[in-house]
């Protein structure tokens, strides 16, 4: 069986950041579209779970190549699941024992229904610098269809409390394209987001995916047609840009100082450690992932020090293709020279019209972003 120490490649030390992803699997209930690794009856195990997370970080920092990164993590991201369900003292204790740079970006995903008045202040006290609030929609009909446990008023309340908290950058997540959403509903969500834009520094907007083993999949739900999804995307992108939130990745808009450094590190092929059940890690040309079960994870960490399940080492060709795919997603992801070299390899000069170049860096134009996967396929044949 593979184990992480047989997988380590050369790493990306010095060339990019070093991130820590912490998967927090607890949720009140499962949303109709969600295929993430979550547990809706395991919250009583949160103390054991955080003990295991700390042990897993320590294991990798003392036995793995990550110790070469020196000053500790540049970014830490608590994702889920619903990290905001967890006792904030456990988050604070985890951060206090995890080495990170003085100017580290520390983010947490927050669900509106778990927000209480003191929550954000306690996050800032423990070193958290960013929250990402799972709003999904500002239309109660859509929220019900998604099986969310908050309504529009609850989302607004959570955002208001977050933006009033000093020292905290605030982002929101939206999902569009369900079959109960019409143009009016999506416009309402976008205008609400733009009216809040003064206080928020980041918006993510994802087209709804109907994933296997979700309620929507069992119900044979459909999302909107490609044409409608494209219109909704372009409309939202223009509105977000109009209030100072620039697109910096296909589905993400931010103020220049509000970009997610953690996610940028993924898209720039940086190194990261993922801890917790189902978490993925990447170092150099290697990547590996943990097993999906909560009880299995707790037992594995106790016995082996990690939740490691399996991994792989990529070939040069695979690395090159992955880097291209990620670079196409972000603004300025390729130098003009790199773009011209990719294009000339496939005689694809006609693709150049989908790009714009500024300061020697190439980015897909808004309409080009809609066909990023096709551009990748055309360039990498
Ligand atoms: C897995 S959730 C975790 C955060 C938090 N529990 C929440 O629900 O907001 C992270 C984000 O992924 C996005 N997401 C999850 N499943 C999706 C799907 N099937 N289609 C599109 N976006 C999805 C949502 O925007 C969500 O906010
Ligand atoms: S979308 Fe968020 S709250 Fe809903 S089940 Fe998935 S992780 Fe949990």
Is 50 part of any domain? yes
- Please state the rounded mean pLDDT for residues 218-233: 96
On whether both 363 and 232 belong to a single domain, the answer is: no
Q: Which of 109, 101, 91, 94 is nearest to 17 (CA)?
A: 101
Q: Which of 267, 301, 331 is a domain's end point?
A: 267
On whether both 89 and 13 belong to a single domain, the answer is: yes
Burial class (CB in 10 A: 0-12, 13-18, 19+), 188: middle
339 CA distance to ligand 1 middle (Å): 32
64-to-100, 266, 273 alpha-carbon distances in Å: 17, 19, 10
Q: Which of 227, 248, 267 is a domain's end point?
A: 267
Task: Give how many domains the chain has, as a whole number.
Answer: 2
Burial 116-133 (b: 16+ CB within 10 A, else e): eeebbbbbeebbbbbbbb
Is 239 part of any domain? yes
CA dist., res. 346 & res. 71, Å (int): 42
Atom of ligand 2 nearest to the CA of 29: 5
**What confidence score (pLDDT) does residue 30 get?**
95
Q: Which of 289, 380, 239, 267 is nearest to 333 (CA)?
A: 267
**What confidence score (pLDDT) does residue 341 get?**
94
CA dist., res. 297 & res. 313, Å (int): 23
**pLDDT tens per residue across span 306-363:** 999 999 999 999 999 999 999 999 999 999 999 999 999 999 999 999 999 999 999 9
On whether both 329 and 258 belong to a single domain, the answer is: no
For the Cβ of 111 lying below 6 angstroms from any atom of ligand 1, the answer is yes
**What confidence score (pLDDT) does residue 305 get?**
95
Q: How many Cβ atoms are within 10 Å of 306's Cβ, its own excluded?
A: 23
Is 305 part of any domain? no
DSSP three-state, residue 371: coil
Is 240 part of any domain? yes
Q: Whose CA is nearest to atom 21 of ligand 1?
A: 208
Q: What is the pTM of this model?
A: 0.95
pLDDT tier for residue 52 given thresholds of 50, 70 and 90? very high
312 CA distance to ligand 1 middle (Å): 26
On whether both 54 and 151 belong to a single domain, the answer is: yes
On whether both 61 and 135 belong to a single domain, the answer is: yes
For the Cβ of 85 lying below 6 angstroms from any atom of ligand 1, the answer is no
DSSP state of 223: B
Q: Which of 252, 267, 282 is a domain's end point?
A: 267
**Test site for ligand 2: of 24, 32, 82, 278, most ligand atoms within 8 A of the Cβ:** 82
DSSP three-state, residue 154: helix
DSSP state of 77: E
For the Cβ of 208 lying below 6 angstroms from any atom of ligand 1, the answer is yes
For the Cβ of 82 lying below 6 angstroms from any atom of ligand 2, the answer is yes
34 CA distance to ligand 1 middle (Å): 7
For the Cβ of 278 lying below 6 angstroms from any atom of ligand 2, the answer is no
For the Cβ of 206 lying below 6 angstroms from any atom of ligand 2, the answer is no
The percent of residues above 90 in pLDDT, for the chain, comes to 90
CATH number at residue 204: 3.80.30.20
On whether both 188 and 79 belong to a single domain, the answer is: yes
Q: Which residues contact 309 (CB under 8 A, 6 or more apart)?
A: 288, 289, 290, 291, 292
CA dist., res. 94 & res. 81, Å (int): 17
Is 299 part of any domain? no
For the Cβ of 135 lying below 6 angstroms from any atom of ligand 1, the answer is no
On whether both 214 and 335 belong to a single domain, the answer is: no
Beta bridge partners of 175: 206
On whether both 64 and 125 belong to a single domain, the answer is: yes
Q: Whose CA is nearest to atom 2 of ligand 1?
A: 80
Is 289 part of any domain? no
On whether both 235 and 341 belong to a single domain, the answer is: no
**pLDDT tens per residue across span 61-82:** 888 666 656 668 999 999 999 9
Is 185 part of any domain? yes
**pLDDT tens per residue across span 14-26:** 446 789 999 999 9
Is 307 part of any domain? no
On whether both 60 and 155 belong to a single domain, the answer is: yes
Q: Tokens 């992480």 correspond to what residue?
A: 4
**pLDDT tens per residue across span 245-283:** 999 999 999 999 999 999 999 999 999 999 999 999 999
**Residue 352's domain spans which residues?**
317-379
DSSP state of 26: B
Mean pLDDT of the chain: 93
For the Cβ of 146 lying below 6 angstroms from any atom of ligand 1, the answer is no
């Amino acid at each position: 069986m593979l184990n992480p120490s047989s997988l380590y490649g050369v790493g990306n030390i010095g060339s990019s950041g070093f991130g820590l992803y912490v998967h927090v699997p607890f949720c009140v209930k499962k949303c109709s579209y969600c295929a993430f690794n979550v547990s809706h009856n395991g919250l009583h195990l949160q103390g054991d779970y955080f003990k295991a997370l700390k042990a897993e970080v320590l294991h990798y920092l003392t036995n793995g190549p990550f110790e070469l990164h020196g000053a500790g993590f540049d970014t830490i991201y608590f994702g889920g699941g619903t990290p905001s369900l967890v006792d904030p003292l456990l988050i604070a204790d985890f951060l206090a024992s995890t080495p990170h740079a003085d100017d580290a970006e520390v983010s947490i995903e927050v669900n509106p229904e778990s927000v209480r008045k003191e929550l954000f202040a306690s996050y800032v006290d423990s070193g958290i610098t960013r929250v990402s609030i799972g709003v999904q929609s500002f239309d109660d009909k859509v929220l019900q269809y998604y099986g969310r446990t908050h309504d529009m008023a609850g989302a607004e309340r959570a955002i208001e409390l977050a933006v009033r908290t000093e020292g905290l950058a605030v982002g929101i997540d939206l999902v569009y394209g369900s079959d109960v959403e019409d143009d009016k509903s999506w416009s309402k969500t976008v205008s609400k987001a733009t009216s809040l834009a003064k206080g928020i520094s980041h918006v993510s907007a994802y087209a709804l995916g109907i994933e296997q083993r979700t309620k929507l999949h069992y119900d044979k739900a459909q999302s909107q047609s490609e044409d409608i999804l494209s219109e909704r995307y372009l409309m939202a992108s223009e509105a977000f840009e109009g209030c100072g939130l620039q697109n910096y990745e296909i589905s993400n808009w931010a103020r220049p100082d509000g970009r997610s450094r953690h996610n940028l590190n993924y898209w720039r092929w940086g190194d990261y450690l993922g801890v917790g059940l189902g978490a993925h890690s990447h170092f150099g040309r290697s990547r590996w992932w943990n097993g999906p079960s909560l009880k299995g994870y707790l037992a594995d960490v106790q016995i082996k020090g990690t939740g490691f399940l399996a991994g792989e080492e990529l070939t040069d060709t695979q690395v090159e293709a992955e880097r291209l795919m990620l670079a196409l997603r972000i603004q300025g992801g390729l130098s003009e020279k790199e773009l011209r070299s990719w294009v000339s390899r496939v005689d694809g000069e006609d693709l150049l019209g989908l790009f714009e170049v500024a300061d020697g860096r190439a980015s897909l134009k808004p309409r080009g972003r809609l066909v990023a996967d096709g551009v990748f396929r055309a360039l990498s044949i």
